Amino acid sequence: MNFAEIIEKKKHREELSTDEIKWLISNYITGDVPDYQMASFAMAVWFNQMTSQETSDLTQAMIDSGITYDLSQVSGRKADKHSTGGVGDKTSLIFSPLVASFGVKVAKLSGRGLGQTGGTIDKLESCPGWTGEISNEEFIHNLNTVGISIMAQSSAVVPADKKLYALRDVTGTVDSIPLISASIMSKKLVVPADSIILDVKMGSGAFMKDLDSAIELSNTMIEIGKHHHRNIGAMITNMDRPLGRAIGNAIEVKEAWDTLHGRGPDDLVELCTTAAAITLMQNGIFKTIEEGKTELVKKLNDGSTAHFLKDFIEAQHGDFSVIENYDQHFTTKHAIQIFAKQDGFLKFNSTDELGLLSMRLGAGRARKEDSIDFAAGIYLHKSSDEAVKNGDLVMTLFTNRDDVANFEKDAYALFDINAQQTNEPTILKVMYNVSEVNN
């Protein structure tokens, strides 16, 4: 077996065997297949796609390049969730308590944010002492005792993906559906969850810009799940608007805490209860999504699931009192208020740019080595499609940086006030498979 034979087959749209894909990835990791050859392969995939079997085999080969987790000592069923990235996306902090309250354990690997997209690990680290750098034994213990555990993804998890993604980033092959799907699912399948819900973002604040591409990506990942005997659900959600009202780190944990006490914004409640309902349906708790959503909304309104978030953060050594006493711990030098200058309906021009503004305020990283100001961020007093009157407070920018005039100018450029509502839905499409959930 050699690279020349493999690239010839892929050039001519012939299906590669499991062994050929395994050979390719294992030899790429060792350096026997150099970057220039793998770049050629990635471009051939970009043009000629991969079959469902090939994509599944690529995913497995990438999983096999690193460690996997053994959760056989965790009692009961296990669930996972993944978002393809978004602005204001604190869904995991609400989804996890909701699902855990029904006895389904939530076991997750998460990452940090970069650029306009926030990371779950960064948000949780706004609670002093919280760490995702825990042992497998502690991961298992927390799942059995609290029902939730989130670990930071280590360099030992799917090293093939890290190496291949860096190559794709500089060779124009990031936007290949098979390569995106294998990248996402390889990192999900290292944790043996019974079900996985995928939140596939679409719009100006997401990688997928149109519905057809988001559907293709979702279907490809669902097929990978089937090949690996997992129940996979996917929601395509709207990222032409930020999710919820809080954008940042501590401010998003606070919004999650408020939502778990029945005080959450409608779009965030809808997304979280739908994701949790699909997961619970796939694990045999509910028969339909609507039945699940009804019960989950009740749990939010009575606040009965909120303690799971606090218990989980404290189990991983975080001081949750800073969230409970938010105003005492997260103050900033500047609180810049942005007002409406006419009547109408608010419309954000670019969710991407809103996230980038939050980054410039100090809430995100332009580079991996940048530090984060956990108190920085944005609170949206009005969001997309909401009616505003001249003089209404639209948003407040929280920052310890002194570039106030430019922050204010940037914020006013981010939105228009239109005469008509656009009535954009939060969830654009729901897709899932259910197989033998009670076995």
Regions of the chain with pLDDT less than 70: 114-117, 205, 433-439
DSSP letters for 417-436: EESS-----SEEEEEE---S
203: which 2 tokens?
A: 């719009």
Helices 266-282 and 250-259: crossing angle in degrees, nearest 10, is: 70
Q: Is the dihedral of CA 318, 138, 60, 229 positive or negative?
A: negative
Query: Using an 8 Å Cβ cutoff, are 250 and 330 in contact?
Result: yes
Give pTM, 2 decimals: 0.92
User: Which residues fall within 8 angstroms of residue 56, CB to CB, at 6 or more apart?
Assistant: 223, 224, 227, 228
Residue 240 makes CB contacts below 8 A (sequence gap 6+) with 203, 204, 205, 348, 351, 384, 424
| Domains defined along the chain, listed by start | 3-48 (1.20.970.10), 78-155+163-322+426-432 (3.40.1030.10), 327-418 (3.90.1170.30)
Residues noted as catalytic: 82, 161, 168, 183, 187
Question: According to the model, what pLDDT value does residue 434 have?
Answer: 60
Instruction: Determine the distance from the C-alpha atom of residue 367 to the mean position of all C-alpha atoms in its chain, rounded to a whole number.
Output: 19
pLDDT tens digits along 195-210: 999 999 998 767 788 8
Q: How far is CA 179 from CA 148, 200, 372, 384, in A?
A: 30, 15, 30, 33
Cα–Cα dist 265/245, whole Å: 7
CA separation for the pair 127, 277 (Å, rounded)? 28
**Which residue, among 126, 173, 177, has the nearest Cα to 362 in the 3D structure?**
126
Six-digit token string for 134: 């825990």
Nearest to 422 by CA among 350, 347, 351: 347
Q: What is the pLDDT of residue 116?
A: 65
Question: What is the predicted pLDDT for the residue at 203?
Answer: 86
Torsion of CA 316, 319, 323, 326, to 10 degrees: -160
Helix/strand/coil for 348:
strand
